[in-house]
Amino acid sequence: MGGWSIAGVTTFQSGTPFTVANGTDRNNDGIPADRPDIGNPSAPLNTRANIAPTCATGYKNPDTGGCVSPGDVHWVEGIGFPNAATVGRNTLRTGGTNNFDLNLSKSIPWGEKRRLELRWEALNAFNHPQYVQVPQMSVNGTPAGRFLNRDFTDSGIRSMWAQIKLIF
């Protein structure tokens, strides 16, 4: 029953900070890295409004297609120079990492100078979602239903394999 060994690596990390993008060059300086404004900080984080001259309120939610006011949504496509309502840099974080990689092996002697090694390895052994990639974050230009939706990021999967090795 001897010859068994178990090993593992565990990683815990906080999420990576990222900045929500306006999606348009709001101040016409030729640099498209502008940030949107905050409409209602209490509104759900994944709600947004784009400028829509056809709406009486001047804004439309691209996810629902309905006209909204800035007070109905969290993010508002900004125009002109940044102001007090403009969101700061790196205000959101991706999900963190909570990962367990495991290794189980057994060494079996085979004669005087040989041995057989059996090994099982599992990356992300508990199949815990790892939302480490930044979701689509542009207020103007992200397809409906995908704005800040981490379901459309690579969340990581469990990967396992077995090995047999003869050492002589």
pLDDT band at 47 (very low <50, low <70, confident <90, very high): very high
pTM of the model: 0.73
How many domains is the chain built from? Answer: 1
Strand partners, 109: 115
The reported pLDDT for the residue numbered 157 is: 84
Top-confidence residue, 60 or 95 = 60
Q: Which domain holds residue 62?
A: 4-167
Secondary structure (DSSP) of 17-80: EE--B-SS-TT-SS------EES-TTS-TT-EEEE-TTSTTSEE-TTT--EE-GGG-SEE---S
pLDDT band at 18 (very low <50, low <70, confident <90, very high): very high
Among candidate residues 149, 148, 167, the one with its CA nearest the CA of residue 19: 148
